[in-house]
Amino acid sequence: MSTWATALFTWLGYGQYQTAPTAVAAGGTAPLLIDQYGRLVTITSTPGSAVNVSATNWADSSAVAVSGQIAAAPATLLKVYATSTSGGFFLQLFDSASTPTSASVPKFVAAVPGVSSPDVGTTIAVDLHGTGKQFASGIHWGASSTIATFTAVSAADCWIDAETA
């Protein structure tokens, strides 16, 4: 025999596959949106565009570098890990389809501390809690010695791993 709690939580646990989100007036309700495989889809801050949080992409720098590309087209940044193999720097993320140039202004900045041994490494993690940060043109990164504008560090000592949707 099913209790009201079992019936309620079973009902709450179901989503509905739709090719587009359901428009709902303030105070209204709609089913959870799932993709054709039953994975939950969340809606970004741009009405009408959905981000499937279970279908994300990972990019890495493939080698230590001073700058590089995370996404060549519009994307939502969900997580980024930056590792320094020597000196500290500011990790800067740019809303751009091209590599940052000197004095470019970043959209996001995080400090990456230096380390005493190049064999140790220091890693920071930035988790944007599933909602992410929108980049309209693409995502490029740079290791900068200054916080407000891009000033490339002198040595290629940064490794990046990033998750986008």
Residue 119: its pLDDT value, please? 59
Please tell me whether the overall predicted TM-score, pTM, comes out greater than 0.75 for this model: no
Task: Please name the residue that has the structure tokens 């309620």.
Answer: 8
Residue 86: its pLDDT value, please? 83
Any idea what the Cα angle at residue 120 is, between residues 117 and 125, rounded to 5°?
125
> What is the C-alpha separation between 138 and 72, in angstroms, rounded?
5
For the domain made up of 57-164, give the CATH fold: Jelly Rolls (2.60.120)
Splitting the chain (165 residues) into consecutive groups of 10 residues, what average pLDDT does each group show? Answer: 58 64 70 69 54 71 91 93 89 94 95 75 84 92 96 90 91
> What is the C-alpha separation between 125 and 41, in angstroms, rounded?
24
Residues ≥6 apart with Cβ < 8 Å to 82: 91, 110, 112, 123, 124, 126, 141, 158, 159, 160
Query: Hey, where are the domains in the chain?
Result: 4-51, 57-164
Residue 100: its pLDDT value, please? 92
Strand-strand pairing, 67-71 and 75-84: unpaired
DSSP code of 151?
-
